[in-house]
Amino acid sequence: MPDQISAALARLEEVEPVLCAFHEVFRSFPPVDPALPLAGVPIAVKRGERRGHREALVAMGCVPIGLTTTPDGSTPWQTWGRNSRGVTRNPWNLDRTPGGSSAGSAVAVASGVVPLATGVDGAGSIRVPAAWCGVFGLKTTSSHRAAVGVFTRDPALLATYLGTSGTTSPTAVWSTDLGFAAVDDDQAEIAWRAAAPLRPRPVPLVLDDPADDWFAGRCGPNPVLEELFETTDLLLTPTTPGPPHGHDGPGDRINTALTWAFNLSGHPAISIPAGFDAAGLPVGVQAVARHGREADLVAAARLISGAVQVAPFPP
């Protein structure tokens, strides 16, 4: 068995009894062509994900080691995963949720089991757990509400996954609340400081609250965003309005307030580690790009991570 796979399985065995990030763990693995760009890289795969995405990563040389947890439908708010041993826990604070629905994938990367994991983002289901677990979480351009993407701790892996160098110097603007969201001051301040390498210009952006359109499944162009992206490469915001909540639920807060507009408009977006709040919980800064311009998101990830160190593995 390749050393990378053995190391991943050993780390999984160490943390899984507490974190409950995996629905199923594989025990046999096919040989890998060493010439492939991601040859031998162990990955975790979100349970129930589109099969084609997993197969595309395998074709690049990745080796799936298991299926990660997702919400089991036992709650109306769907913000953590569960397996037969219990709820999926945030590795930075076991009493807090890692976010959902790609909970297990975020935890698998954050806890050092795998360097790359897949996810599906229908309202923020990659970006929210990425922010709350202190890792990168990217959703790709999509003409549908749900988009595939990945979690990682390494911008270079993002670049290889997307087939881009991500070495551009994009322009950026900043909005704390998109004109409607209630965002905690510390989330905004930490994300704003992290965004400094991109020198974003604050703009008075006002979007309509996307809640009604999201629940009605209405996707399509957003005129306000289309006009904005005529003059800038990136829109930066905090990823989430507040920190991860407990396992008893989010209360009245909409954790996807800053993310789901971009599922409706189809823009690619990423959550980038921005640092920690006073309680020691990770905070994310979100970057949104023009359609098809994932390279600008990789550039943002490289620039910000050069100034804000990605969180170490939690204890």
Q: Per-residue pLDDT tens for 171-186?
A: 999 999 999 999 999 9
Average pLDDT over residues 209-233: 93
Write out pLDDT tens, residues 229-258: 999 999 999 999 999 999 888 888 899 999
Give me the pLDDT at residue 51, please.
Answer: 78
Average pLDDT, the chain: 93
Told to judge if 101 belongs to the known catalytic residues of this protein, a careful annotator would answer yes
Question: Over 80: is that where the pLDDT of 192 sits?
Answer: yes
Catalytic residue among 102, 105, 111, 125: 125
Give me the pLDDT at residue 227, please.
Answer: 97
Catalytic residue among 101, 111, 271, 305: 101
Average pLDDT over residues 262-270: 97
pTM of the model as a whole? 0.96
* Whether CATH 3.90.1300.10 fits 3-153: yes
Task: Give the residue from 42, 239, 19 showing the smallest Cα distance to 134.
Answer: 239
Told to judge if 125 belongs to the known catalytic residues of this protein, a careful annotator would answer yes
Residues of the chain with CATH 3.90.1300.10: 3-153
Q: Which is more confident, 79 or 52?
A: 52
Give me the pLDDT at residue 201, please.
Answer: 97
Give me the pLDDT at residue 78, please.
Answer: 58
Question: Over 80: is that where the pLDDT of 74 sits?
Answer: no
